[in-house]
Structure 1
Amino acid sequence: MRSEGPVIFLDSQMQGHPASSKSYIAARPKRWIKSIDDGIEIYEGDQVRQEKGNPWGLLSRFWQKSWLFGYLGYDLKNHLEKLSSKNKAEVDVPDLYFMEPELILELEEDGEAKTIKGKVPEIKSSENISGEFHIKLETQISEHEYKAKIKRAQQDITEGEYYEINLSHPLVFEVTGDSLDLYQAMKQVGPVPFGAFLQLDDVSVCCASPERFLARKGQRVWSQPIKGTASRAGHSASDPAIETLLNSEKERAENLMIVDLVRNDLGRVALKNSVQVSDLFEIQTFETVHQMVSTVECTVSQQANSFDVIKACFPMGSMTGAPKIAAMKAIEELESYRRGIYSGAIGYIQPNGDFDFNVVIRSAIREGRKLVYPTGGAITSDSDPEAEWEETLVKAQALTRILNNMESAE
């Protein structure tokens, strides 16, 4: 999968998972667009055009009913509502990046590959770096500081500012080694249905997401928010943690709040009376955790613009809290870093307007020798700060275990 230039691998090959289906490799872009704040750059062959404006509108016009692969960064929220991002970014990544590739490979769940478009190029290394992998934790929020932020959020909730908020904090590492090797190690330890590997200029993203943000097929649009996590105890189908998670009033309440939020978002673009919850509180099992997943879907008109549908639901409610705008304002005050691609979405749009995007969680974002891995969870009035702190560590344990194993194997 190493190739010259940008490459995007959308990896849905988790055998046996209901969301696992086709995977895609996109490379050799002939056109691409990226934005930071309201500055947009559009590349077409050897020509570069710079524009100012709302990136959502420019992205919609950039699409020529062709395949597009890329991501939407969390801070694109600022172009949907009267919001801002004043915190410093840990890594310098565009708010938005999409490419129209000359090469698209489609991989079936059984591993069979077919070329949708283009000629497979000669395989070359994408990173001129040593194969040895070394890791050192540089910064991490203290347990005391994170718990203090939780208590402040709970005070806001008591005062009626919002009733749920997703708080996160970044683990920052210094690393050397090949990012693709890291992604392959992540995949082996914990396969997921919405994984992704992106190599874009100086930035790479290793995403092990279990969560779908939004998908469209024809007139059907659906979202699958995750709220509720329990550490997995072994590989028994009768793991008592499953029953505990399913019956947790706190986890069910958090999940239901986000389900209602997603229903409201979809209602902005859905045909009348078509929004429904087709699956509530389903427990899905992954390598290290069990997750509570719900499915919300609707029907849109045949003429509905896919970008308008995405805008109506972005960013994913499970990564903000509710009400969404109030929660996003509070996130900017409580967190100390700019989320960037984290909490955004990675995916594709087809020539017919169908699309599928994940939620960017469980993701390592790398620029040069700096690697950032944000982790977080939902906070409500009933949250226990100690338990919430431990949950963020549970979510990060798969990556930290991989990093340590890769280093010790050298």
Structure 2
Amino acid sequence: MNRLGRSGTPFFFAIDFEMRFPVIVPLSRMHGGFLLFNIQGRSNDYSRHHTVSANMSDNISLNPRFISRADYSRAFHLVQSEMKAGNSFLCNLTFPTLLEPDPTIRLRELYYRVHAPYRVYMNAERLPREFLQDPSAAAEEMPREFLLFSPETFVQTHHGRIYTYPMKGTSLVPEGESLDRAEKTLLEDEKERAEHITVVDLLRNDLGRVGRDIQVERFRYADAIPVNGGRLIQISSRISALLPGDWKRRLGDMTARLLPAGSVSGAPKRETCRIIAQAEGAPRGFYTGVCGIFDGYNLNSGVMIRYLERPGEKQPWGSSWNGDPGEPSAPLLFRSGGGITIYSNEADEYSELQAKVKLPLEKR
């Protein structure tokens, strides 16, 4: 990333949560169908009208098999016990959900149907090894393919400043219910407010690692995201910092100093990531990592939430599948979760994990 930034070479990148197998692809080498992206309108998915399946239903039943309440409870109480010991004051707890969709779906086709500011489809089995830093580890631990449809920005750069938009606080509003009332309830919730303040403070500190003149330009505003059966309200803030004049020459160093994303890890980061690994019991991989493009002048990147994958052979659920990853019968996981504080209610957090297992489909 430093080398491509210095030369002003446009590229796409995807960095997994554990930062073990980053993918970096110059846009001039983007061929072969292994990767599709749309980063807030900047895209390589030029063949949309040829690719969307005319047979894909507007109403897909995901038939999710969530983590059991007992297993979730064990992880939740482990996190809170660490908080009582003073080791963390915000921890993002996540788990995969096994789907049995009806009708069956293909992730590449679904890419063209989901609506989100950040969309990525990657077939890791077709990904040229030259774009991986550690091909052997990646071959064992990467999913066969994944689909991202994220509403959350990681960082953007404009006119010498870097911006981030932490998103913390979620509410599912069913069709026919008042958005205004749900938004007011979410904004007035003291637990959600405390959680959001913690993330804003964390990301102010993160931006201070790469820039100066830190500003919280907008605090706790709501966006409504269309999903099957209603809308998902998310609460965000906007924070910025002034970058040094040579930031493009150190683009990789700058990105590494900001990772993992604070809104999907916690605070303090190092200790909270230890807790996450213990509570979740398996690596997240690309889920809650970051992805984006550098266009030669500016960076635009998203946090990899709202994420579907067909797991690889070495991953949970993937070891029993030896067929084509594009086959609809291959195991399919939807990863989701939420922020935990000492004030969190277990039932509410378990419900939030479930509420996020939705597809924001564009109606035809």
Does TM, normalized by the shorter one, top 0.5?
yes
Cα distance in 2 for partners of 1:69, 1:237 equals 39
What value does the CA root-mean-square deviation take over the aligned residues?
Answer: 3.5
User: Which position in structure 1 is the counterpart of 2:301?
Assistant: 357
SS of aligned partner of 1:239: helix
Q: Percent identity among equivalent residues? A: 26
CA deviation after TM superposition for structure 1 residue 382, in Å: 0.5
Cα distance in 2 for partners of 1:204, 1:114 equals 19
User: Which position in structure 1 is the counterpart of 2:353?
Assistant: 392
**Residues 218 and 302 of structure 1 are in contact (CA less than 8 Å); yes or no, is this contact kept in structure 2?**
no
The question of 1:166 aligning with 2:92 is answered yes
Write the mapping of 1:25-104 to structure 2, written as runs, cut at 5 A. Answer: 59-61=1-3, 64-76=7-19, 95-102=21-28
User: Which position in structure 1 is the counterpart of 2:129?
Assistant: none
The correspondence for 2:282, drawn from 329, 333, 337, is 337
Cα distance in 2 for partners of 1:108, 1:267 equals 25
**Residues 207 and 364 of structure 1 are in contact (CA less than 8 Å); yes or no, is this contact kept in structure 2?**
yes
**Residues 232 and 239 of structure 1 are in contact (CA less than 8 Å); yes or no, is this contact kept in structure 2?**
no
Q: 1:106 to 1:363 in 2, by over 3 A?
A: closer
The correspondence for 2:73, drawn from 113, 134, 147, is 147
User: Which position in structure 1 is the counterpart of 2:186?
Assistant: 245
Cα distance in 1 for partners of 2:258, 2:164 equals 9
The question of 1:278 aligning with 2:217 is answered yes
Write the mapping of 1:193-342 to structure 2, written as runs, cut at 5 A. Answer: 193-202=117-126, 203-234=144-175, 238-271=179-212, 274-287=213-226, 288-304=231-247, 305-342=250-287
Q: 1:328 to 1:106 in 2, by over 3 A?
A: closer
CA deviation after TM superposition for structure 1 residue 101, in Å: 2.8
**Residues 93 and 280 of structure 2 are in contact (CA less than 8 Å); yes or no, is this contact kept in structure 1?**
yes
- Bigger RCO (CA 8 Å, 6+ sep): 2
SS of aligned partner of 2:252: helix
Deviations 1:205-233 (A, max 9, x none): 22121100111123110111111011114
Cα distance in 2 for partners of 1:292, 1:215 equals 18
CA deviation after TM superposition for structure 1 residue 163, in Å: 0.7
Cα distance in 1 for partners of 2:237, 2:72 equals 28
The question of 1:179 aligning with 2:107 is answered yes
Q: 1:213 to 1:324 in 2, by over 3 A?
A: same
- Of Structure 1 and Structure 2, the greater strand share is in 1
**Residues 4 and 10 of structure 2 are in contact (CA less than 8 Å); yes or no, is this contact kept in structure 1?**
no
CA deviation after TM superposition for structure 1 residue 318, in Å: 0.8
Q: Which runs of 5+ in 2 are unaligned?
A: 31-35, 127-143, 312-324
User: Which position in structure 2 is the counterpart of 1:36?
Assistant: none
CA deviation after TM superposition for structure 1 residue 102, in Å: 2.8
After TM superposition, the structure 1 stretch with the greater mean CA deviation from structure 2, 64-73 or 220-229, is 64-73
What is the TM-score with the length of structure 2 in the denominator?
0.75
What is the TM-score with the length of structure 1 in the denominator?
0.67
Cα distance in 2 for partners of 1:270, 1:319 equals 22
Cα distance in 1 for partners of 2:304, 2:38 equals 21
Number of residue-to-residue matches in the alignment = 311
Q: 1:138 to 1:62 in 2, by over 3 A?
A: same
CA deviation after TM superposition for structure 1 residue 286, in Å: 1.1
**Residues 137 and 171 of structure 1 are in contact (CA less than 8 Å); yes or no, is this contact kept in structure 2?**
no
Q: 1:392 to 1:103 in 2, by over 3 A?
A: same
Cα distance in 2 for partners of 1:136, 1:268 equals 41
CA deviation after TM superposition for structure 1 residue 388, in Å: 0.5
**Residues 173 and 232 of structure 2 are in contact (CA less than 8 Å); yes or no, is this contact kept in structure 1?**
yes
Deviations 1:272-323 (A, max 9, x none): xx00111111111111211110111100111122222212211110111111
**Residues 347 and 357 of structure 1 are in contact (CA less than 8 Å); yes or no, is this contact kept in structure 2?**
yes
CA deviation after TM superposition for structure 1 residue 135, in Å: 8.9
Cα distance in 1 for partners of 2:353, 2:64 equals 18
Cα distance in 2 for partners of 1:297, 1:336 equals 34
**Residues 71 and 347 of structure 1 are in contact (CA less than 8 Å); yes or no, is this contact kept in structure 2?**
yes
CA deviation after TM superposition for structure 1 residue 200, in Å: 4.1
Q: 1:235 to 1:309 in 2, by over 3 A?
A: farther
Cα distance in 2 for partners of 1:339, 1:331 equals 10
Deviations 1:111-145 (A, max 9, x none): 9x999xxxx89x9879xx9x889998796421111
